[in-house]
C-alpha cells in the first residue's frame, strides 16, 4: 500500500505538492472513482490522471540545464513565452525543480523524480543556492552586513545570507550570494532593500553541485554520485 501522492510522484507525475493539487482538483481517479487527498493505492489498483493511466514507476532521469535569459521555468506557458522545456531533448517527461526568473540564468535541474524535486524545494531542508550578482554602484560594508543578517522583503525578514564581494569599481559590484530560502525574486528584492539594483543574476550552485563550464542553453545528465549527493541533502 502506498499513499496516492507518493505513488504519483514516484511515477513521474510531479512533486508531491503538485500531485496533491491534481488530487484536490479531481484530476486523479482510482479504479474509475475520483480520489481524495490521503487516499491509498493498493497492488492492482488502476490510477489515472486526466483519464490517462499511470503505470509502473518510470526510470528516473536527472538533467542539469544552463538556463539562459528569456525563458520561463515552467512546462508550458499560456502566454506563448519560451519555456525551458524547449531546450530539453529527451524522450521522457521532465519537470523543472524550482524556478529561475525570466531574466535570470544559470543552474536548473530537471527530473521526473518527484520525491527528489520535493526534497530540493521544501523550505524545511534549507538547501543552499549560490548566485553571482552584478549590482549597480558600490556595496558598502554596512549594506553587506545587513544582507548577511537579514533584510525585510515583503514585510518578512530574510534568513541570514552569505555575501562575498568578487570585484567592484565605482559603477558596479560583482558578488557571490548564498541563500537557502526560495521566495519570489528574493535576491533582487534583498538588494533592493539596501538600495541596490541587480543588473545581472546567475545561479551557479545548488548545495555543492555546481554549474561549471556548461554553456548557456546546454544540458547534461547528472552523474550517479551527483544524484546520490542531492538525495542526501
Question: What residues act catalytically?
Answer: 101
220 Cβ contact partners less than 8 Å away, ≥ 6 residues apart: 63, 64, 214
- For residues 54 and 68, give the distance between their C-alpha atoms in angstroms, rounded to a whole number: 33
Element (H, E) at 86: none
CA atoms within 13 A on the CB side of 225: 2
5, 105 Cβ separation under 8 angstroms? no
| Beta-bridge mates of residue 40 | 3
- Distances in Å between the Cα of 193 and the Cα atoms of 22, 100, 173 are 37, 20, 16
Amino acid at each position: 500500500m502506498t499513499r496516492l501522492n507518493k505513488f504519483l510522484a514516484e511515477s513521474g507525475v510531479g512533486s508531491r505538492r503538485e500531485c496533491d493539487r491534481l488530487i484536490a482538483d479531481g484530476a486523479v481517479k482510482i479504479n474509475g472513482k475520483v480520489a481524495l487527498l490521503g487516499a491509498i493505492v493498493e497492488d492492482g489498483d488502476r490510477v489515472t490522471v486526466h483519464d490517462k493511466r499511470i503505470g509502473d514507476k518510470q526510470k528516473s532521469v536527472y538533467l542539469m540545464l544552463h538556463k539562459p535569459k528569456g525563458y520561463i521555468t515552467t512546462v508550458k506557458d499560456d502566454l506563448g513565452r519560451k519555456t525551458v522545456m524547449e531546450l530539453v531533448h529527451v524522450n521522457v517527461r521532465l519537470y523543472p525543480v524550482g524556478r529561475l526568473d525570466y531574466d535570470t540564468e544559470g543552474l536548473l535541474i530537471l527530473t521526473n523524480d518527484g520525491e527528489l524535486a520535493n526534497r530540493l524545494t521544501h523550505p524545511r531542508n534549507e538547501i543552499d543556492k549560490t548566485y553571482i550578482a552584478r549590482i549597480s554602484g558600490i556595496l558598502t560594508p554596512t549594506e553587506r552586513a545587513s544582507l548577511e543578517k537579514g533584510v525585510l522583503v515583503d514585510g518578512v525578514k530574510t534568513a541570514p545570507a552569505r555575501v562575498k564581494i568578487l570585484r567592484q569599481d565605482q559603477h558596479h559590484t560583482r558578488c557571490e550570494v548564498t541563500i537557502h530560502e526560495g521566495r519570489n525574486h528574493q535576491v533582487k528584492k534583498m538588494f533592493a532593500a539596501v538600495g541596490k539594483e541587480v543588473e545581472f543574476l546567475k545561479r551557479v550552485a545548488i548545495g555543492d553541485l555546481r554549474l561549471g563550464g556548461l554553456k548557456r542553453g546546454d544540458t547534461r545528465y547528472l552523474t550517479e554520485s551527483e544524484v546520490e549527493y542531492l538525495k542526501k541533502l
